[in-house]
Amino acid sequence: MITIGIGASWDNQKKRISMPNDYITAVIRAGGLPLLFPLTDSEPVWKAMIDQVDGVIFPGGEDIAPELFSESIHSHCGDIIPERDAQELFTYKYLLTTGKPFLAICRGVQLMNVAHGGSLYQDVPAQLPEIHINHSQTNTPQDAHYVDITEGTLLHRLLGAERVSVNSRHHQVVKALGKGLKVNARSEDGLIEGLELDNGYPGIGLQWHPENLSKHDIAMQGLFNWLVREAGKIL
């Protein structure tokens, strides 16, 4: 069975890893076996986790430490888990040496950009007051706003549409684009909502949460179907 590794969030109150169930069920619907990556400080374990799976999901979660993109912490920056930053930056960069496919969702697309030398707006309302869309609609798990899909990208080919309606639960977003990346989606107000690699690597970064939409949206479930199908090609 094709295995998909999923990075875990950290519950600081309960002192344990956590994982929203929608990631798990979307992978299972796609025919894959989801495997959670625990948080650890061991590089050999980080490497072994990537070696043991066929594809990876970098999911949402805590804010990425601004020092990783050479900025001081903004007053509106949220919770930071340095251990998770270290582990996921390592596993992302190591993954790119394997050819294994990935989906990078919400925090994941921000991690992707930082890993390539890009930066983030630490809080959209505070740093971009002119933006008219509320991108942090935590009580709206379904559609919140539209994004325009860049023609000719992998995401465009998979979704088969130039514009889609998405949910929106983030207060940070890509600022300066990292090297070797290209934009595959933008919101109506111009913010970057998705990334891919220039070299055609099988990876997609999305600012919205397709896992929440996948149960009732064939196109969003199709992203997880693609991940499992692509992962099966390298077996």
- List pLDDT tens digits, range 30-88: 999 999 999 999 999 999 999 999 999 999 999 999 999 999 888 888 889 999 999 99
The most confident of the ranges 16-20, 93-97, 169-173 is 93-97
pLDDT score of 114: 98
pLDDT at 140 over 70: no
Q: Per the structure block, which two tokens stand in for 23? A: 């990631």
C-alpha radius of gyration, the chain, whole number: 16
pLDDT tens for residues 173-190?
999 999 999 999 999 989
Q: What is the DSSP track for the chain? A: --EEEEEPEEETTTTEEE--HHHHHHHHHTT-EEEEE---S-HHHHHHHHHH-SEEEE---SBPPGGGGT-PPPTT---B-HHHHHHHHHHHHHHTTTT--EEEETHHHHHHHHHTT--EES-HHHH-TT--S--B-TT--S--EEEEEPTTSHHHHHH--SEEEE--B-S-EE-SPPTTEEEEEEETTS-EEEEEETT--SEEEESS-HHHHTTT-HHHHHHHHHHHHHHHTT-
pLDDT tens for residues 192-221?
999 999 999 999 999 999 999 999 999 999
Give me the residues paired with residue 10 across strands: 17
pLDDT score of 44: 97
Q: Are 136 and 124 in contact (CB under 8 A)?
A: yes
Pair type for strands 33-37 and 3-7: parallel
Give all domains of the chain, ordered by start, each with its CATH number.
Answer: 3-232 (3.40.50.880)
Question: Which of 207, 214, 224, 217 has its CA nearest to residue 109?
Answer: 207
**Lowest-confidence range among 145-154, 161-170, 210-219?**
161-170
pLDDT score of 122: 95
Average pLDDT value for residue range 159-178: 93
Confidence (pTM): 0.95
Residues involved in catalysis:
106, 209, 211
Handedness of CA 9, 119, 230, 150 (dihedral sign): positive
Give me the residues paired with residue 6 across strands: 36, 57
Question: Amino acid letter at 50?
Answer: I
